Structure 1
Amino acid sequence: MNKDTLVVELERHLREVAAEREAARRDPALQAARTAVKRYQAARLAATHPDLLAAPDTREAAGFFLNDIYGAHDLGRREADLERIVPSLHRLLPYEPLHTITGAIALDALTEKLDTGMARVLGSDFDEGGYLAAYRSASAPQDRARQLDLVQQLGDSLCTLVRIPLLSLTLSVMRAPARLAGVSDLHHFLERGFGSFKKMKKPANFVDTIVGRERRAMGHIYAGRKEPFDVF
């Protein structure tokens, strides 16, 4: 895949994300339900990976995944930043950072779709039993598997970034121009992801741990197993 193809994919995923969020904005009940689903999932992830959030080596990276990848807050500003500067990204960014951004938005687009499906079934008031039933009825196993594939790919991409010489310096130099261009949210996302992975001794092990646990949890849910998030 070359940069031209990446940009086409990036633009398509940005349109998908925008469509999901616009539909929710037009329906306050759906918006509230989506927010409830996202908050529940963020809390569940924190409960499933407490060791990664507590360990000094992985704390920042775990926080990045929970807040910037699975976060309950609105990431629309980041996507709006991207839509405005896609042509500049194609021209200025090397392949690897562009690949990372595209992967993050691909994951975002699928997650938004899955969250909307869950929200339509659950509403804004539900318990774990309701959540698990909706997970099975409102999302296909292949879509959930694809979501975790994208998490793995994004993590692997960040592992690649930290091995690129001088990229840390490049991101630092870009900070002021990004602020002047009005794309600080996007730049902060890149810096947080890169910085948190750069600090880990074994970032690939971190990615494999998260994805492995989540794959086991997914299998437990679809199998109807009690205590599906007991994945250690």
Structure 2
Amino acid sequence: MSADGDAILEHLRTVDAERRRRAASPDLGVRVAALKAYQQRRFSHTYADLLATSRYGPAARFFLDELYGPDDFSQRDAQFARVVPALVRLFPHEVVGTVRTLAELHALSEVLDSIAALHLPEGRVDTPAYVRAWQEAGREHDRERQIALTLSVGESLDRLTQHPLVRHSLRMMRGPARAAGLAELQRFLETGFDTFRAMRGSREFLSTVGSRERALAQALFAARFDEEGHLGDIALGQLP
């Protein structure tokens, strides 16, 4: 198999290891679910202005549902892992590269969610608990890598829209992809392609996402608590 295929499988093994870790510790699984739900609320709050626009709303919704959503993708990922050789063989190289980046983002996000969740209290996640969890988890470098991968997925989808033959190829792949068990991946790629093509240029959108995510990451790690446990005056307006 190709280097891309091997890398995709390795990232999926990382995701599976995190799921098994949570299954062995139900308490951790509950905390991760609460963290994911909070992060989805956070994204909706941070990008409320983009979600409300006709140009950027669909792309923001795509990121929210596909990259920040709390849905359980375990069955999809298990099916996906079995058909990676078919993916590498059937899809254009540019598309396979996009999937490799997506798989790395997926794996890193799952690892970071587990690490941060270990530092959460029981129950609903609020802003102070979220800030403390990130600070106690650390991993500033990995958070920056997560942001860079998120932007890379968007940039890859945008590049694909500049090649009309790729969209035609994706349409032609619907039957073979469904037969190979890749229908969910096919849906993701077509939705992402159509969303970014309709945006008519993603530079401003991705620049906004990058600047806000990095500003929030900086604020999270720089935030300080007073003696009573209250957050000091720090730029955390992105949090709900």
Counterpart position of 1:109: 107
Deviation at 1:26, TM superposition (A): 2.5
Counterpart position of 2:236: 228
Deviation at 1:15, TM superposition (A): 0.6
Deviation at 1:172, TM superposition (A): 2.2
Q: Describe the superposition over 1:170-211 as per-residue Cα deviations: whole angstroms up to 9, x where unpaired.
A: 222322333333332221111111111111022122112111
Deviation at 1:165, TM superposition (A): 2.0
Report if the CA contact (8 A) 1:10-1:105 is conserved.
Answer: yes
* In 1: Cα distance, 2:238 partner to 2:10 partner: 36
Which letter does structure 2 place at the counterpart of 1:149? A
Counterpart position of 1:128: 127
Where in structure 2 are the equivalents of 1:1-232 lying within 5 Å? 4-125=2-123, 126-224=125-223, 226-230=234-238
Q: Go from structure 1 to structure 2 and tell me whether the alpha carbon gap of 1:173 and 1:54 turns closer, same or farther (over 3 Å shift).
A: same
- Give the superposed CA RMSD: 1.7
Deviation at 1:132, TM superposition (A): 0.3
Greater mean alpha carbon deviation, residues 46-55 or residues 218-227: 218-227
Which letter does structure 1 place at the counterpart of 2:35? V
Which letter does structure 2 place at the counterpart of 1:171? L
Normalization by structure 2: what TM-score? Answer: 0.89
Which letter does structure 1 place at the counterpart of 2:15? V
Report if the CA contact (8 A) 2:83-2:181 is conserved.
Answer: no
Which letter does structure 1 place at the counterpart of 2:198? K
Q: Percent identity at matched positions? A: 36
Q: Go from structure 1 to structure 2 and tell me whether the alpha carbon gap of 1:105 and 1:147 turns closer, same or farther (over 3 Å shift).
A: same
Which letter does structure 2 place at the counterpart of 1:228? L
Which letter does structure 2 place at the counterpart of 1:30? L
Rg comparison, structure with higher value: 2
Which letter does structure 1 place at the counterpart of 2:26? P
Runs (5+) with no aligned partner, structure 2? 224-232
Count of residues in Structure 1 that have an aligned counterpart in Structure 2: 229
Which letter does structure 2 place at the counterpart of 1:159? D
Which letter does structure 1 place at the counterpart of 2:155? D
